[in-house]
Structure 1
């Protein structure tokens, strides 16, 4: 078996949004970078809904125009309640920060390939079908050695710094026993692509739809060519009666949701169905001597508010700054690594605060009848647009919303305060949509 040795400044494990972003920015700084992608592009991936703040990074990378050609214009998000049938739109134009008032919904196979090829054009040595298998961390002043397996043999990379952007493989976290499942949000997901899904009205064209059920939620994301990405994320109770394949489970969950089933009466499944378990997690230590975890390799929070790709690309930019600093001054690099990990963790906590409470009837009632007192509604829209770095202007509305929630919750517990319409139970659901000949399912839950 052929063995190839390569020396570089930085090795990036993973060629998704986090890895490609970091690799591109480092190469532009004049650093030598090797990026390892275990698959070959294009490859299927979930997480197809971007946020307005993504556009800043795409422009920085020089791919904004190219991404626009593959995307569906996304002016906001709509939330729909199975309990009451109510819906509420949150247009990004109502955010506190209005310099970016829309985003794009994209097929990740196309989006990720654009980022990966752009990194190669910028000077990154980018390998596909190269799976990182082993790592030997170097002592201070010594190289870290990453061994990858390729179709041609073994690739040995000696690097001064390692960025782990391996996604849900969590390459470094798994090897350092640092991965911790989120006990507050122990969920799993099942998803696929459909045709003939009933679209929203013209005034909500391009919106992502989030349908809230009793034990989870659905996403419906419009893509090009009349395709809609549909997925269900459920907590433990949602999977207790699991029988049959992932496709059987998915169709049963659709049938149980009156609002989703109504939109999918004539829907036709045109992809495989994929299931993923142990959805939310975080590393309890995201960096070490000569390495940093970024993107999903560090942590992943329930994707209800479409923050996954933004968090990954933000981590990529911070990871590039950290690696670049470390190459010149390891002590300063460690300071930036600690700061990066802390900042990413806090962003996950901010969006997690809403996610963990989304099934609460008080918060749902506030969500579906948003008040703009103290700019609370605009502050929430600001978060939904991806503005997760709080400043004084955005902090006050968020604190006001949390205070109102706590007050209303206390009143609700004592049978006082305004009515909570979201406490109304669900109604029965209509029949399941039909599956096409393409409905062969692959259950990848693990």
Structure 2
């Protein structure tokens, strides 16, 4: 069987794989990216967070993203019944970017991997990883689209396969998430929004009028489109697949703000549903490999944290790996796993309290302290690793105390 040799093999050409590939190429390492699909391809996760911009800039991709014509984003607009609360991410506790973009992922992801290829990464689309031999010199077995098999020997493997979760499946790394199984039903609409009808520079997150554990998103995109969807525990969407479009339409009509903004605007792509997307692993690294982004852990889409966590993981892993490939002794747990999980745990504290309603009580509280509001805004903007923020350094206790203050 043919065997190719490379410094680093990356499984998956999504944002995490692309940024990791670019950062490693900047350090002079040979990089091979194996992607099962062909780009462009649809993906959910269209609303970026400002923290992401620093990683795109370091990976040499910022100019391409800025010039692509994506919808500008500067914050989030929350609505429940007659209550509203808007956060401007430029007004936040943490330093750094306060703006970003809302993107059609097919275009965005294709753009990023092209930037990585332009920096010298080799990308093979339509190639599927079948098996892995972990170890100091890991070997992957791969099949191309003609079912021809070959091997790739690397000094290290990064799994950026997203929801495909290649190495967690092959190496039996899956672990319980601790989160209830939820599902999302979604599509795109031609929204036709008047300029004064809604601030297109913000994502809209609306809570169901009768169910605080059910929420909607509306993400304005460039060209007069919006992504719209609903998230709930999976049983909430039970019913025949043939009725999926009618189900989403009825849900939009049930939420007053979305009904006003979208109403009966036509869906411009088939209504889709994904279930059981929350994921976790026993460890984020092992002999000769590390897991990036959704291949390791995915929480929930409510705060659009997925791409930010993916890019943070790529940035952290690339830094550790460059040192290891340079001959240094590294500690993947202390330098990658533990630091990455600290930010994920911050997001987890916010996600869990969103679904219990506690964070919603905080967000809609009418007498918010400006300093605390900026701290909350920073986390919502993706700065979940800035431990100068008390709601990052000690998120569970701080949120619990804050909620107690808001309801007494």
Q: Is the 8 A contact 1:189 1:275 kept in 2?
A: yes
Q: Is the 8 A contact 2:390 2:398 kept in 1?
A: no
Query: In the TM superposition, what is the alpha-carbon distance from 1:292 to its structure 2 partner?
Result: 0.5
Alignment of 1:54-69 (within 5 A): 54-68=52-66, 69=68
2:148 aligned with 1:150: no
Residue number among 381, 396, 400 corresponding to 1:385 in the alignment: 381
Q: Any idea what the Cα deviations from partners look like across 1:314-339, whole Å, max 9, x if unmatched?
A: 1111121222223244741xx13443
Q: Is the 8 A contact 1:185 1:302 kept in 2?
A: no
Query: In the TM superposition, what is the alpha-carbon distance from 1:134 to its structure 2 partner?
Result: 1.3
Q: State the TM-score, normalizing by the size of structure 2.
A: 0.91
Q: Any idea what the Cα deviations from partners look like across 1:174-210, whole Å, max 9, x if unmatched?
A: 2232223423342111211110354673772321101
2:74 aligned with 1:75: yes
Supply the distance in 2 between the matched residues of 1:370 and 1:300 (Cα, whole angstroms): 32
The higher radius of gyration belongs to 1
Structure 1 stretch displaced more, 366-375 or 105-114: 366-375
Q: What residue in structure 1 maps to residue 352 of structure 2?
A: 356
Alignment of 1:82-97 (within 5 A): 84-97=81-94
RMSD of aligned residue pairs (Cα, Å): 2.3
Q: Any idea what the Cα deviations from partners look like across 1:83-117, whole Å, max 9, x if unmatched?
A: x3311110012111254221111111111111101
Supply the distance in 2 between the matched residues of 1:348 and 1:119 (Cα, whole angstroms): 26
Q: What residue in structure 1 maps to residue 362 of structure 2?
A: 366
Q: Is the 8 A contact 1:86 1:368 kept in 2?
A: yes
Query: In the TM superposition, what is the alpha-carbon distance from 1:237 to its structure 2 partner?
Result: 4.5
Structure 1 residue runs of 4 or more that deviate by more than 6 Å after TM superposition:
none
Supply the distance in 1 between the matched residues of 2:242 and 2:176 (Cα, whole angstroms): 26
How many residues in Structure 1 have an aligned counterpart in Structure 2? 401
Q: What residue in structure 2 maps to residue 342 of structure 1?
A: 338
Q: What residue in structure 2 maps to residue 41 of structure 1?
A: 39
Supply the distance in 1 between the matched residues of 2:196 and 2:279 (Cα, whole angstroms): 36
2:187 aligned with 1:192: yes
Q: Is the 8 A contact 1:199 1:263 kept in 2?
A: no
Q: What secondary structure, in the 3-state scheme, does the structure 2 residue paired with 1:90 have?
A: strand
Alignment of 1:311-330 (within 5 A): 311-329=309-327
Q: Is the 8 A contact 1:287 1:338 kept in 2?
A: no
Q: Is the 8 A contact 1:47 1:108 kept in 2?
A: yes
Q: State the TM-score, normalizing by the size of structure 1.
A: 0.84
2:178 aligned with 1:183: yes
Structure 1 stretch displaced more, 357-366 or 66-75: 357-366
Structure 1 stretch displaced more, 173-182 or 85-94: 173-182
Structure 1 stretch displaced more, 372-381 or 274-283: 372-381
Supply the distance in 2 between the matched residues of 1:296 and 1:360 (Cα, whole angstroms): 24
Supply the distance in 1 between the matched residues of 2:5 and 2:369 (Cα, whole angstroms): 57
Q: Is the 8 A contact 1:92 1:102 kept in 2?
A: yes
Residue number among 385, 397, 400 corresponding to 1:402 in the alignment: 400
Supply the distance in 2 between the matched residues of 1:266 and 1:385 (Cα, whole angstroms): 31
Query: In the TM superposition, what is the alpha-carbon distance from 1:25 to its structure 2 partner?
Result: 0.6
Structure 2: unaligned runs, 5 residues or longer: none
Structure 1 stretch displaced more, 264-273 or 171-180: 171-180
